Homo-oligomer: A and B are copies of this chain.
Amino acid sequence: MGLTDQIPRRAAAGRVDFRTEPARYRHWRLSVDGPVATLAMDVDEHAGLQDGYELKLNSYDLGVDIELYDAVQRLRFEHPGVRTVVLTSVKEKIFCAGANIRMLAAAPHAWKVNFCKFTNETRGGMEDASANSGQVYLAALNGTASGGGYELALACEHIMLIDDRSSVVSLPELPLLGVLPGTGGLTRVVDKRHVRRDRADYFATKSEGLGGPRAAAWNLVDEVVPRPTWDQAVAERAAELGSRSRRPADARGITLTPLAKERGDDRVSYRHVTAALDREAGTVTITIAGPEQDPPADAAGIGAQGAEFWPLAVTRELDDLILDLRTNELELGTWVIKTAGDPERVLAYDRLLLASSGGWLANEIVHFLKRTYKRLDVTSRSLIALIEPGSCFAGSLLELALAADRSFMLAGVFEDADPDAEPAAVTLGDMNLGPLPMANGLTRLQTRFFGDDAALAAAREAAGRPLDAAAAEELGLVTFAPDDIDWDEEVRIAVEERASFSPDALTGLEANYRFAGPETMETKIFGRLTAWQNWIFNRPNASGPDGALRRFGTGQRAHFDRKRV
């Protein structure tokens, strides 16, 4: 394989491929030394995902972030002994300059939005590792962290800034580019680091940023360390943060083997997941196959199967598919979700995972599944679940139906096709009752029945029992339960209708309805902040020919329509 083949550049038909591995990284150096891993940014300015820009000063594009995502995942699965991840830079005087501005300026609106969504998810994944994996992220800013570079640090639990009289932290997006920091910066500054809002306002308008003493006084960083003692201080802090972790020292990781995938123009196939793309209808039909075998007997068996273990394998495939379709198939606006297999086996795997979740590997798999379903929740596609005979919407796979905007469950069977089939059933299991919360902190079941405690209690009461269409509809677990006579027509209308609506309005509708109830820092980032950023990205003051984003670096000032909206 030649060198250029190793860059995660756009694959055939210009598609972005999210699969990579450390040997192919162009932008990061990952090293592991006992309980401390170092993830050092060293962006290759000539290895951008697209042409037309150079990734100077450790600025990043989607390709850089794909590698970061891969590294964070591998650390969790392949290096269970790691307790602290030190995020730093190989370059002198610069930690990271944030998202590449020429890339942003040239990118279409949808690309910018998609890019920000993925980087947000990756940063959320780092916080999830700190909180739930015992792999705590430490930002060791050995140089300036500006914009998205500082936002990367904000996703870490502890921020150290070198005191060299030149290194600063900054959020210069507003003054320089006329947009907002796009990866959660505003929210994390006030909601996570508790910087006072008037100071946060000052900080976000000061393009040159703040240096050590003031940055520390305002809690923008946790400590400022002189260069002579830098290495030692970082090592000490890494050890200290790691000492709080309960990661087992002697655990052996599993290998995230290359994901087998066939990608065509109208079909994406993995081992357990397939997707049929219908460009005419604007839909993708995704089918997730349940396990073909019974689960192993215990946690040791999970480790022995490694990446082949069905829940892990299917989650990796679904994760990759979501990213692929989101990035590469913008015009396929409706995802129809099906499952096929034995629901009892799905529940058996769920039970094994939950019984083993005191162990690091089962814990990782459950959290990975949680994060993957969270991706679905923030995916700007209409999700319709079809529950038919032969499906296995039970426990962890039932979450797919609960994540959908609407679900249809066949009452009875398809009389012509298979009159002797067993009618479809759905079964709630323990996986639906806690381990897979949404970004709002509630389970999908709790969100579904928000404010209706009786309905929630009735559903919980039914856990463990296969429910036919009538029972599932009665309990509110599915939207509609048509019979064979009405099925085709009802489903067809729902899917066709969806394709006829404004894609933008659907995105806004779904972004609001999927998150009933409470908000968290995460939903504020994905809902409130992202929506404002999308609006700003779309405005002439940013993206028009005279807008700040397009004018940056040209020597010309942006021309603003001064009307406040």
Contact = CB atoms under 8 A, between A and B. Distances in A.
> Which bucket holds chain A's interface residue count?
35 or more
B564 A505 contact: no
A532 B529 contact: no
A407 to B, nearest CB: 7
A487 interface: no
A299 interface: no
Interface string A377-406: 000110000000000000000000000111
Interface string A443-454: 000011111100
Contacts of A406: 198, 201-202
Nearest to A558: B502
A451 B194 CA distance: 6
A479 interface: yes
A180 B332 CA distance: 21
Copies in the complex: 2
A256 interface: no
B186 A513 contact: yes
A503 B330 contact: no
A73 interface: no
A463 interface: no
Given A198-B479, A513-B200, A539 B504 contact: yes
A515 B562 CA distance: 24
B110 A565 contact: yes
Contact of A175 (B201, B501, B542, B561): B501
Nearest to A325: B564
A506 B561 CA distance: 13
B381 A503 contact: no
A320 to B, nearest CB: 19
A423 interface: no
A450 B503 contact: no
A558 B538 CA distance: 20
Interface in A266-311: 282
A448 to B, nearest CB: 6
